Amino acid sequence: MIQRHRQTPRHGAQGRRRAARWHGFTLLEVMLASTILLGAVIVLGELAHLGIRNAAAARDLTTAEFLCRGTMNEITSGILPADEVESAVVTSAPGWVYSVEVVPLEHAGLSSLRVTVAQDLPEEKRPITFSLFRWVPAELDRSSANAVGTLGSGTDYGARAGGTNNSGAPTTATPSGTRGAP
């Protein structure tokens, strides 16, 4: 004798509960998805903040480089004296200061001219600084008026490390003090 199992119809209350349970998300699934979404938003927000902070640091470093090149060119052209200066305000850019250091070299007739531009901020705020070195005739550090025109004219293409300026004298650029996470 063959017995058949009786199947319960899906129309009853128990069948409706089972069918309804599979049509939507559970509270646990919704909370898990919300947590994942919140975590992704937090990570993306932090990345955007990091990008904005690094863009500001790059902007400030570029500004420091332009101001440093301008100050170096003013000194070598005789507009500014080639005297040692510590934390003088850059007149064209408030909030920035420059320092000048002149060191005689062992080579006859040459001096190392170092110009450093920095933000006028306390050290704990990690100000951006940028320095340029250039070898100049020794007369430049004694009398800027005599040095006008001795270095050539035109754009200074040699501010990269190991380059030369228009007169063939080596120049070096050194950025420092970038803002980043401590």
Q: pLDDT for 30-77, tens place per residue? A: 999 999 999 999 999 999 999 999 999 999 999 999 999 999 999 888
Count how many residues are written for the chain.
Answer: 182
What is the structure's pLDDT at 49?
97
Burial label for 116, CB within 10 Å (0-12, 13-18, 19+), is buried
Q: If you ran DSSP here, which 8-state letter would residue 130 be given? A: E
Mean pLDDT of the chain: 76
The CA distance from 178 to 69, in Å, is 18
Burial label for 101, CB within 10 Å (0-12, 13-18, 19+), is middle
**Residue-range domain boundaries for the chain:** 33-176
pLDDT, tens digit, 9 for 90 and up, residues 129-140: 999 999 988 876
What is the structure's pLDDT at 116?
94
What pTM does this model have? 0.60
